Amino acid sequence: MNRTVLAYLACAAVLLSSERCFGFDDEGFQWWTSTGVSMKINKDWKCTFTEELRLGDDGGNLYREHSDLGFTYSGLADWIDIGANFRIVYEKNGHDEWRRENRPHLNVTLKGRLFDMALSNRVRLEYRNRENKDDVWRCRNKVTVKLPFEVTALKLKPYVADEIYVTMNDDNIDRNRLYAGASFGLTETVSADIFYMWQTSRSSNGNWGDIQVLGTGVKLRF
């Protein structure tokens, strides 16, 4: 078990260190927490609902929350899922005022295996209808690798992931997220997730900054 833990930590360290060449300034620590429900409609369709809260200032200040409702179709093949979602986001601006964003998004997820590792590549196209800002289209691509072992008595299933964001009005990469985390089952129908994430973002003036996030989540399956 020690070797598998060391291998997981080494893999995560490589991913996290690979982006340090950009030399971004630290902009603080955050805590993100989510609760989700997934319900099977039939063998090909499922419905999902997720509520997420984001707390900045070292996890002490709620500045964003979103609710996301979606439907996923898995009937085409075992290696692809197609989903349509609608997300409502409320986020504080620089004056501590809450602003709303309506965000419908389409998702295509490709799934496979390599050397006993589960791989997925999710491509998301989202339309951001923002209060007091211009509407924009954005593409997000997230690649996830689930490592082929479990650790500790909780049977933690480690994973690493990378996600890039491209705002389509300027075709530039303006955000990157690196994840190292683990999921585990609490009961037959309830699972949990914990992760560390390093996010780097480009501001409107072209400067880059970053945040570090501790993420926790619980999901209930029907």
The tens digit of pLDDT for each residue in 95-153 reads 889 999 999 999 999 999 999 999 999 999 999 999 989 999 999 999 999 999 999 88
Helices (H) and strands (E) in the chain, counts: 1, 11
SS3 1: coil
**How high is the mean pLDDT of the chain?**
89
Q: Please compute the mean of the pLDDT values over residues 29-35 and round it to a whole number.
A: 97
Q: What are phi and psi of 14, to 5 degrees?
A: -60, -45
Please check whether residue 116 is in contact with residue 127, taking contact to mean a CB–CB distance below 8 angstroms: no
Q: Which two tokens stand for residue 123?
A: 């491509």
Q: Please compute the mean of the pLDDT values over residues 65-74 and round it to a whole number.
A: 98
The whole-angstrom separation of Cα 120 and Cα 37 is: 21
Domains detected in the chain: 2-221 (2.40.160)
